[in-house]
Structure 1
Amino acid sequence: MWEPKNLLSPCLLLLLGERPDHGYELVRRLRPLGIVDGDTSTVYRTLRSLERHGCLCSDWAPSGTGPARRVYRITAKGRTELLSWLGTLEETRRRLDYYMCRLAPLIENRHPHPDGA
């Protein structure tokens, strides 16, 4: 089954393409995308995996309010990977649009109009 969390890698690449960031802030920025449901360990595992594959790099940066934080940055390979997701996501959107078009008549038939039409 497709779930938004399956888009964690491309969403992280997107967010890091916008600007470098540390894990906690990335988790916060993922929430409006519907990706994080409280399991932040998955985010950190995915960040490490993307870094191992050369899509990200990271270094430690001092924090004004506590210990140093690992800041992640997208690499050239990560930007290429992000662009490769474009075709996949466009195809997914086409399939979802097709599905929704076929679903619409069923929903309309299931919920009669208030005027009896």
Structure 2
Amino acid sequence: MLKGILEGCILKVISEKEVYGYELATKLHESGFSTVSEGSIYPLLIRMNKEKLIEGTLKKSTAGPNRKYYRLTEKGQKELSQFIINWNILKCGVDKLLKEEEQ
């Protein structure tokens, strides 16, 4: 389940601006995904690129080698929209169950 959630969150971060892998990992960590390693993010980026959800472009870096920056494709935007719908449905159901548990 975390994999699907992580993919949706990656799409959301990329939808806000082009990012490179390490920058993406940092944003995810800042958002509370502290247990997600860079080693699990890069394979997802490769797969999402193959599925044409994102596109990567190499750009020069002022601090070392070129970096691959990722941006959302139209297909990726549609996937993100569907993720948000599915997440809200799942979240409501879980919240309802947890609220019932508190009573």
TM-score (norm 2): 0.91
Query: Aligned match of 1:98 in 73, 93, 96?
Result: 96
SS at match of 1:69: strand
CA contact (8 A) 2:55 2:70 kept: yes
Deviation of 1:35 after TM superposition, in Å, equals: 2.5
Deviation of 1:36 after TM superposition, in Å, equals: 4.4
**Percent same amino acid at aligned positions?**
24
Distance 2:30 2:4 in 1: 15
Q: In the comparison of the two structures, how many residue pairs are matched?
A: 103
Distance 1:104 1:32 in 2: 29
SS at match of 2:35: coil
Indicate the structure (1 or 2) with the bigger Cα radius of gyration.
1
Q: Does 1:37 align with 2:35?
A: yes
In the alignment, which residue of structure 1 is the partner of 2:24? 26
Distance 1:68 1:54 in 2: 22
CA contact (8 A) 2:19 2:71 kept: yes
Q: Which amino acid aligns with 1:50?
A: M
In the alignment, which residue of structure 1 is the partner of 2:7? 9
Distance 1:8 1:46 in 2: 9
Distance 1:14 1:38 in 2: 16
Per the alignment, do residues 8 and 38 of structure 1 end up closer, same or farther by CA in structure 2, a change over 3 Å counting? closer
Unpaired runs of at least 5, structure 1? 106-117
Q: Does 1:46 align with 2:47?
A: no
RMSD across aligned positions (CA): 1.4
Q: Which amino acid aligns with 2:6?
A: L
CA contact (8 A) 2:25 2:37 kept: no
Deviation of 1:34 after TM superposition, in Å, equals: 2.6
TM-score (norm 1): 0.81
